[in-house]
Every structure is written in structure tokens, then in C-alpha cells.
Amino acid sequence: MKINDSLKSVANTGIEKTDSTLASASTAAQKAAEQNSAVATTSSTKSSQLRALEAAVSASPAFDAGKVEDIKSAIASGSFTVDAAKVADGLIASAVGLVKS
């Protein structure tokens, strides 16, 4: 009799573990679905922000044609001067940005 009783308790323990494992797997699946939903929402928000940014960039010109013409005429007339300090500051800022990243 003791042998049969111990087998029943072992069998019942296994079933209980299986039920709890299934419950854990179900909970994990629900959490994964919630996370996927959150990612999809974030992704759609970023997509709309990206579209708005792309529209703003495409609406603005790549360069100021008037300014380019002014610089060309200044160079042609010999009145264009280069500010060495401004160029040096730009190079240093660029180098610092590269080092930090």
C-alpha cells in the first residue's frame, strides 16, 4: 500500500507542475504580446515623427543659392576673406565631436 500511495503523490506532483508550467507559459506569452503591442505603438509613433521630419527637410532647400552667388561674386571680385579663427574653431569642434563619439 505504501508503494501505491507514493506513486500517486509523485504522479499528482508532476501534473501540478505541468499545470503551473502551462500557466507560466501562458503568462509569458501574454507579456510578450503586450511588449510587442508596445513596440508596435512606439514604432508607429516614430514612423509618423520620421515622416514629419522628412517632409520638413524636403520642403527646405539643400543650400541657399543666393548666398552661394554672393560668395562667388566676392571671390571673383577679390573681396572675399577667410576668417582663419572661425575655420580653426570649426575644425576643433568637429574633432572634439569625433573624439566624444
- Per residue in 34-71, pLDDT (tens digit) is 666 665 556 667 788 888 888 888 888 788 889 999 99
Q: C-alpha cell of 62?
A: 539643400
Buried b / exposed e over 31-57, threshold 16 CB at 10 Å, is: eeeeeeeeeeeeeeeeeeeeeeeeeee
* Segments in 61-101 forming alpha helices (H): 65-77, 84-100
Region for 64 from its dihedrals, namely left if φ exceeds 0, alpha if ψ lies in -120 to 50, beta otherwise: beta
The per-residue pLDDT of the chain, averaged, comes to 76
- CA distance linking residue 4 with residue 10, whole number of Å: 10
The secondary structure element, H or E, covering residue 61 is none
Cα–Cα distance list, 23 to 28, 62, 87 (Å): 9, 58, 66
When pLDDT is cut at 50, 70 and 90, the band that residue 101 belongs to is confident
User: Could you give the percent of the chain with pLDDT greater than 90?
Assistant: 33
